[in-house]
Amino acid sequence: MPYRRHLRAAGRSVVQFTRWVLPALVCSAAVAASASASTAAPRPTRRAAPAGTLGVQLLNVPVAEADDPRARLYIVDHLHPGTVIQRRIEVSNTTASTMPIVLYAAAATSGNGLFVGAAGHTPNYLSTWTSVSPAACDIPAGGHLTATVTIAVPRDASPGEQYAVIWAETRSAPPAGGITEVSRVGVRLYVSVGAGGPPPSKFTINSLTAERSPDGQPVVVATVHNTGGLALDMYGTLQLWAGPGGLRAGPFPANLGVTLGIGDTEPVTIVLDKRLPAGPWDARVTLHSGLIENSAQATITFRNKGGSSPPYLTIVGFIALVVGAGALLVVIRRHRNSTLAARSPPSLHQL
C-alpha cells in the first residue's frame, strides 16, 4: 500500500540521517564546543602541541585527583565493577591543512620500564570497555576537537590494573598507490578494578651509583623497585653537594619516560654536565610517581673519562704488575739453573 512505501522511504531517511548526517552534526558541535572551551574553567597544566603536528591532551581531572600531576596527563582511576565514568580530551590540528581524524581505544602494556601502545586496533579488556565520541571527524587547520571518553566497567570484571590508549589517528593516502602514512598520538589509560579503595602505590630506591656514558658524560643511576599494586611513572631530581672544594650542583632532572610495572625493578638515569668534577660528591635523589615520594642518599665518585680507572687504582695495578714480573723472573732463573745442572757433562772422576 502507498503508506507502506512512505514508511520504507522514511525508514531509509532515518538510517541515512543516523549514519551520515548525525555524526557530522556531532562532529561540528564538538569542534564548536572546543573553540569556545578556551574561555571555560581553567584546565590542568599540559603540554601544547608543537606547530605543524597533531596533538591530544586530557581536559578534565576528577576532584579527588586534582593534586596528582600524573592524573593531569593521563586517565588514572580506580573503578568498582559496574561503574561508568566519562573524561574529555582535546585533539588539536596545528598543521596548515584539514585532517581527517579517527578516535579509538586500543590495548597497551606496561613492563621493562616502558608503557607501550599495541599496534593498530589491538584490543584488550579495557579497550573493549572504552568508547570515544565522536569516533571520527575532520579538524580544520588550526582547529580543535573536544571528544568524550566513556569507560563502562562490566559488573563481572576481574580485579587488577589494566592499560590502554585513546588514539587520535590520521592517514595520508598517496595520490597513486604507494605506502599510506599513519600518524597517531594518544592519552594513556591506567584503570584498576576492584572493590574498596585502590591498591597501594609504593616503591623503593635500592641503589644510587655514578657511571659514565660511552662519550664520557657523567650519569647517576637510581635503581627503583615497584613494591606496590599499581604501575608507576617516575620523575624527580638529583642534588649534589660537598664536592671538590665544597662545590654544590643541581638540581638535575631525572630522565623521564620510565614506567615501572607492578613488581618491576628498573634504572632511572640522571644525565649531568660533562664539566662536572669527578668527585667525591654527596648525592641525594628524590623520585616521585603521582603523589608518592621517596629519596636516597650516597657518596659517589665518577670514573675517569673514557671509562678508565681512577689514578690510584692504576698505580696500585702497576706496582702489582712489577712485583709479579719480578717473582716470575726469579722462578724462571731457578728453573733454568736446575735444567743446566741436569744436562752438564760428567766430570773426570765419574768416568
Instruction: Please determine, for residue 15, whether its predicted confidence score (pLDDT) is greater than 70.
Output: no
What is the rounded CA–CA span in Å between residue 273 and residue 298?
Answer: 19
pLDDT at res. 17: 36
**In the chain, where the domains are located:** 19-193, 203-303
Q: Which of 146, 133, 143 is nearest to 34 (CA)?
A: 146
Q: Which are the contacts of 125, defined by CB distance < 8 A and separation ≥ 6?
A: 157, 162
The Cα angle at residue 331 between residues 326 and 334, in degrees rounded to 5: 125
What is the rounded CA–CA span in Å between residue 208 and residue 268?
Answer: 10
Element (H, E) at 239: strand 235-241
Grid cell 566519562 is found at: 86
What is the rounded CA–CA span in Å between residue 180 and residue 69?
Answer: 37
Q: Which of 90, 84, 168, 91 is nearest to 129 (CA)?
A: 84
Residue bearing the bigger pLDDT, 26 or 217: 217
Residue bearing the bigger pLDDT, 39 or 88: 88
Percent of the chain with pLDDT over 90: 58
Set of cell numbers at residue 268:
632511572
Instruction: Please determine, for residue 12, whether its predicted confidence score (pLDDT) is greater than 60.
Output: no
Backbone angles phi, psi at 242, to 5 degrees: 55, 40
- Predicted confidence (pLDDT) per residue in 139-183, tens digit: 999 999 999 999 999 999 999 999 999 999 998 766 666 777 788
Instruction: Please determine, for residue 70, whether its predicted confidence score (pLDDT) is greater than 70.
Output: yes
pLDDT at res. 45: 43
What is the rounded CA–CA span in Å between residue 32 and residue 55?
Answer: 17
Q: Can you name the CATH fold of 203-303?
A: Immunoglobulin-like (2.60.40)
Cβ atoms within 10 Å, residue 271: 15
Superfamily of domain 19-193: Immunoglobulins (2.60.40.10)
Instruction: Please determine, for residue 42, whether its predicted confidence score (pLDDT) is greater than 90.
Output: no
pLDDT at res. 322: 37
CA 152 to chain centre: 26
pTM (whole model) above 0.85: no
Instruction: Please determine, for residue 255, whether its predicted confidence score (pLDDT) is greater than 90.
Output: no
